[in-house]
């Protein structure tokens, strides 16, 4: 997952609104969102190579999503897959805060990441490149491949558009997906320097990426109502081509359900 826009307790009807793109090499095998056979309370896509996921929810209302932190050096070749951090939280019984405090003890074993975890009561963020775990106050946030709310061009443009869409009482699903399909490239002078070279920075600067063998693989719009109802929308994309077919899952949160 390489860009996430989210609103926590900022809409009159929805506790959490998420619009996110997952970017990955096209050759990496992936399963689309669905309930996991061995853990039917979990709704998420699947990285079939590493075994984890990039974004998911449970029937008890737990939520987690991950982005990689991009840097040109310091890569740990044999580090465990970061996608397992999402599935680990979704499958455990710890509170979001407890889970992140525990993760902080071993976070250095992983390559750089941003991790968002939450439940019906709270939402938290942690990066192993950016200090201690933090509890998020009600607000609108965005994260890509740097720290939370780092003002990269696509973060600022996307967060502004996301905020405008939240001003409407009814969430416009088509407009949310249109935001996630934005292919605008940032001006060279506004690009970050993460150590991958100018041409690669330019190719990765849009919200929707189509960069040869790498690009946006799927887009997700997640809505969790104050009443607890969850609606999960996903579109899968072919290399460089935005998909139009939307798969939707809807269910009520079962607040008294034990973790799987």
Average pLDDT of the chain is 95
259 found inside a domain? no
Tally helices (H) and strands (E) across the chain. Answer: 5, 14
In the predicted model, is pLDDT for residue 222 greater than 70? yes
Domain count, the chain: 1
Residues 167-173: contacts with CB under 8 Å, at least 24 apart: 169/12, 169/13, 171/11, 171/14, 171/17, 171/221, 171/223, 173/221, 173/233, 173/246
CATH number at residue 115: 3.60.60.10
76 versus 144: the higher-pLDDT residue is 144
The answer to whether residue 210 is domain-embedded is yes
pLDDT of residue 72: 67
Q: Is residue 109 situated within a structural domain?
A: yes
- List Cα–Cα distances, 22 to 30, 103, 135, 150, 256, in angstroms: 11, 23, 24, 18, 31
Angle between helices 83-91 and 96-104 (to 10 degrees): 140
Q: Does 260 score more than 70 pLDDT?
A: no
Q: Let me know if residue 258 belongs to a domain.
A: no
Distance, CA of 204 to CA of 199 (rounded, Å): 9
* Domain interval for residue 85: 3-252
Per-position DSSP letters for 179-236, written without gaps between them: HHT--PPPPGGG----SS-HHHHHHT-SSS-EETTEEEEEEEEEEEETTSEEEEEEEE
What pLDDT digit, counting tens, does each position of 30-43 carry? Answer: 999 999 999 999 99
Q: Is residue 260 part of a domain?
A: no
Q: What is the pLDDT of residues 82-136, one digit of tens each?
A: 999 999 999 999 999 999 999 999 999 999 999 999 999 999 999 999 989 999 9
Torsion sign over Cα 214, 216, 218, 224: positive
Residue 165 lies in a domain: yes
Q: Is residue 257 part of a domain?
A: no
Q: How many Å from the N-terminal Cα to the C-terminal Cα in the chain? A: 24
């Amino acid at each position: 997952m390489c860009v996430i826009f989210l609103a926590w307790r900022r809409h009159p009807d929805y506790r959490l609104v998420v619009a996110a793109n997952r970017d990955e090499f096209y050759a990496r095998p992936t399963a689309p969102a669905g309930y996991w056979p061995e853990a039917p309370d979990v709704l998420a896509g699947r990285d079939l190579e590493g075994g984890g996921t990039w974004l998911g929810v449970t029937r008890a209302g737990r939520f987690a999503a991950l982005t990689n932190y991009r840097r040109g050096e310091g890569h740990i070749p044999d580090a465990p897959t970061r996608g397992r951090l999402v599935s680990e939280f979704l499958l455990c019984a710890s509170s979001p805060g407890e889970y992140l405090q525990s993760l902080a003890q071993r976070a250095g074993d992983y390559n750089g990441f941003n991790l968002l975890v939450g439940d019906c009561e709270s939402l938290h963020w942690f990066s192993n490149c950016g200090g201690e775990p933090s509890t998020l106050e009600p607000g609108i946030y965005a994260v890509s491949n740097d720290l939370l709310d780092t003002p990269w061009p696509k973060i600022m443009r996307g967060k502004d558009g996301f905020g405008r869409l939240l001003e409407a009482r009814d969430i416009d699903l088509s407009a949310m997906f249109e935001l996630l399909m934005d292919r605008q490239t940032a001006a060279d002078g506004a690009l970050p320097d993460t150590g991958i070279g100018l041409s690669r920075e330019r190719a990765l600067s849009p919200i929707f990426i189509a960069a040869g063998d790498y690009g946006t693989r799927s887009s997700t719009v997640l809505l969790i109502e104050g009443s607890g109802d969850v609606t999960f929308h996903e579109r899968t994309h072919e290399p460089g081509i935005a998909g139009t077919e939307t798969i939707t899952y809807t269910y009520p949160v079962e607040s008294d359900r034990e973790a799987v």
